[in-house]
Homo-oligomer: A and B are copies of this chain.
Amino acid sequence: MTITTAGTKPSLIRAFTAPKGFGDQTLRDPRPDAIELLGGIPDPGVLPAAELAEATARVLSRPGLPALQYSRTAGISPIREWIAAREGVPVDRIVITNGGFHGLALAIQVVLERGDLVAVDNPVFPLFLRGLELSDARTLPIAVGPDGLDLDALERELEAGARPRALYTVPDFHNPSQGTLPAAERERLVALAERHDFVVFADNPYRELWYGDGPEPVDAFNHSEHVVHVNTFTKTLGPGLRLGWIVVPERFVGDVVALRSRQDSHSSTFVQAVIGELVTADETLFDRTLDRARALYRSRAETLASALADAAPGVFEATVPGGGLFLWPRIADDRIDADALATAASAEGVEYQRGAFFPSGPGTDADRHLRLAYGHVDEERLRLAATRLGQAVARL
C-alpha cells in the first residue's frame, strides 16, 4: 500500500502551523483542581436555557417542520431580519454564520489572496492569526492602546508605503487589552480603509456586554463597502449554539454565499429557527437577558480587581474594563518575571492566559500582563483565585 507522504499535502494545509501558547491552553483538557480563568465563556446562570427549550418545542410543533428542512445559504426569517434591524442595514447584507470565528474565516477567504498583507491589532486575539493561515497571509502589527487601535500608528505605516489588503481589529472591549475605539476614530478608520482600499474586519463579540452607558456607535462600520462587521450570539446566548452573523458589504455578499454554498451549505436551520423564535416571541427577552449578564459580569470584574489589589498590594495595575469578560492587569513590580508568575500561579491552582501569548509584533508590553477571564467564575472563586495569585507572587 502506498501512503501519500506529508510532502504532498495541499498548500492550503501546509500553511498551517502547530498550535502553541494560547492555542495550546485553549485545546487542553480542563484541570478540575484549578480555577481556570482561560476563556471568554459566558456564565450558564445568565443564559436563557428554559426559554430556549420552550422556543424549541414551539418551532418543532409547526406544520411541515420548516426548522428541520434545508434553507437558503444566507439565513432564514425571522432571525436574519431581527439582526438586520438591530444593525440598521438591509437584510440582504446579513449572512448568518456558525459563530464569530466562522465570520472571520469567511472574510479571510473571500477578501484575501494567498500571501496578502493584513494589518492586525498588536496585541491581538491569537486565534485570528490562526484563521489567517487559511490565506497564508503576512501580518503588519499596529499598536493598540487604551483607546483601541492606534490610528496614528496605522497612518504612519500607510504613508510609509504599506499596502495591506485588510485590517483586523476588535473595536469594543478589545481582546485582550480592553480599550474601546472612540466614535470619531471609527470614522477615521473607515476613511483610511476607503482611501487606501483595504477591508476592515471589525470583530465585535463582546459589544453587547457593556457595563456603563452603552457602546460606541457602529454606523461607520455598517455603512461602508470597506468593512466586514463580525458578530455572534456566542457571548450572549451561548458559544455551543454556534450562531453568529456578518454585516457584509454588498460587493462581497455574492462571494460569501458562493463560498459557503461550497463549504457547508448553510447554518443549522434548527438553531436559526430556535433563536429566531426566542428573540421575537418575547421581544424584550434578549435585552433582559443582557441586562442580567452585564450586571453580573461588571460585579465580577470589580470583585476580581479589588481582590487582586487586596491579595497582592502594589503588584498589579488593573483597570475595571468598560465591558466584556476579561481583566488585563499589568505586573507593575519589575522584579517579577511574567513567565515565572504564570508557572507559580499554575502550581497554586490558577490558570490564565499569559500576556506573552498576545503580541503580533514588537513594541507592546503585553508580555507584562495577565488575561484573566472572569465571566463564568463566581465571586467566591474569583477571590480565591486572587488569593492564590498573591501566594504565587509571594513564591517568587
Q: Which residues of A contact B (CB under 8 A)?
A: 1-4, 8-13, 16, 27, 39, 41, 44, 47, 49-50, 52-53, 56-57, 60-61, 63-72, 97-99, 101-102, 105, 109-114, 130-131, 133-135, 194-195, 197, 199, 225-226, 237-243, 251, 255, 258-259, 261-271, 273
A219 vs chain B, min Cβ distance (A): 17
**13 A-B pairs with C-beta separation under 8 A:** A1-B195, A8-B113, A16-B258, A44-B64, A49-B61, A53-B60, A68-B240, A130-B262, A134-B263, A240-B273, A242-B268, A242-B270, A264-B264
Copies of this chain held together in the complex: 2
Cβ–Cβ contact B110 & A13, under 8 A:
yes
Query: Are A98's CB and B53's CB within 8 A?
Result: no
Assembly CA distance A284 to B9 (angstroms): 42
Chain B residues contacting A240 (CB-CB under 8 Å) are 65-71, 268-270, 273
Tell whether A65 pairs with B53 under 8 Å between CB atoms, given A3-B251, A10-B109, A70-B239: no
- Kindly identify which residue among B47, B69, B134, B263 contacts A239, using a CB–CB cutoff of 8 Å: B69
A-B contacts besides A44-B64, A67-B240, A102-B264, 12 pairs, CB < 8 Å: A3-B251, A9-B255, A10-B114, A13-B258, A39-B70, A41-B70, A68-B240, A101-B264, A101-B265, A130-B262, A240-B268, A242-B266
Chain B residues within 8 Å of A60, by CB: 49-50, 52-53
Query: In the assembly, what is the distance between CA of A101 and CA of B102, in Å?
Result: 17
Contact A242 B255 (CB under 8 A): no
Least CB distance, A137 to chain B, in whole angstroms: 11
Bound complex: CA of A52 vs CA of B258, how far in Å?
31
> From residue A309, how far is it (CB to closest CB) to chain B in Å?
30
The reply to whether B197 and A4 form a contact with Cβ atoms under 8 Å apart is yes
A63 CB to nearest B CB, Å: 8
Q: How distant is the Cα of A327 from the Cα of B120 in the complex, in angstroms?
A: 54
Q: A2-B194, A267-B242 are in contact. Are A13 and B259 (CB under 8 A)?
A: yes
Q: Which one of B10, B98, B133 lies within 8 Å of A265 (CB-CB)?
A: B98
User: Chain B residue with minimal CB distance to A226?
Assistant: B1
- Is the CB–CB distance between B61 and A57 below 8 Å? no
